[in-house]
Amino acid sequence: MKKRMLTILSVVALLAIMIGWYFVFQQQQAKSSGSKELTYAKEETAILAGGCFWCMEPPFEELKGVKSVISGYTGGDVENPTYNQVSAETTGHREAVLITFDPTVISYKQLLDVYWRQIDPTDPNGQFVDQGESYTTAIFYTNDDQKQIAEQSKQDLADRGIFDDKIVTPLIESGPFYEAEAYHQDYYLKSEKKYKFYRAASGRDEFIDRYWNDQPKLDLPKYDKLTDAQKKAKLTDIQYKVTQEDGTEPAFDNPYHDLKADGIYVDLISGEPLFSSKDKYDSKTGWPSFSQPLEPGNIIEKSDFALGMKRMEVRSRHGNAHLGHVFNDGPEPTGLRYCMNSAALQFIAKEDLEKEGYGQYLSEFK
């Protein structure tokens, strides 16, 4: 009888632990954006199709002035298409990227200069290893100014005589843009090994090297990329442990957890804007917490199983630094808590924004 009772109690205890872990697991999940068709501001958006959208994100996301790059589908006549539908060539859609940018930092023409260097503009049937209508190139202009700039850019490319064959990339008036499935977004960061294998086998890099290696390099604003030695020289021990080794600083014993001054928080390594003091709140956790990012395009969220449960790690896009984690127990309207490490951040006070090159964010505090 005693043995049976112990067995029953053990089973009950195990079930209690499992249920507890389930609710903890649910608590750790961050909310996702649920929209499929995206609205966009026509004056500061570029929509470009260049074959596999996995390969079209990296060259634009490294540029200063680019706020976000979203992979998706456009140009067809099927609403809310799936990847399987598009790749089956039954929708008329192309794989494309929607680039939101700050025209005061980088121009539409400069984005097109980058675009031409990522594609084979002479192939009417696809791109490299991927053939089919959904992989063909196109520039989807959002207004008359973009159309004129794109026409001139295409003509300039033809006049340079880099390619023997005719430039066939069409210019098409933009229409609905549908965000691709979540696993496609930032694929090169989330599935780095698979992406590198695909890219190496695709033939894209060989083509780019063959036609562009001897051409003058583009002079574009980019985020600094530090070597590991440079990072060790620049960062303190705790800053390096947090940002490079995915560590966590002590709760309450860090400079920003109770800072109430107006300003923005930027990545310690790259300087990319991350959070605003307007979205900061006291989460009682001992770490600086925010309800939302200032620039969502500068944030990468990755699944983290380090503690035996799934959490969502937050990293900076350009600095590739570990920042903290995001949880779904925050205040409304987002319901999110971006729990960050002070050691990964640099605070820029409101009165210093202009001097430090972040003057565009002064309007946040009017």
Q: Which residues are catalytic?
A: 52, 339
| CA neighbours closer than 13 Å in the CB half-sphere of residue 162 | 23
Distance of CA 98 to the CA centre of its chain: 12
Q: Cα separation of 360 and 295, whole Å?
A: 12
| CA neighbours closer than 13 Å in the CB half-sphere of residue 105 | 16
Residue 235 contacts by C-beta under 8 Å, 6 or more apart in sequence? 243, 244, 268, 269
Q: What secondary structure letter does DSSP report for 7?
A: H
Residue type, 136: T
Dihedral sign computed on CA atoms, order 59, 52, 143, 67 = negative
Tokens 């100014």 locate to: 145
Q: Cα separation of 95 and 313, whole Å?
A: 28
Tell me the three state secondary structure of residue 198.
Answer: helix
Q: Note whether 364 and 292 are within 8 A (CB).
A: no
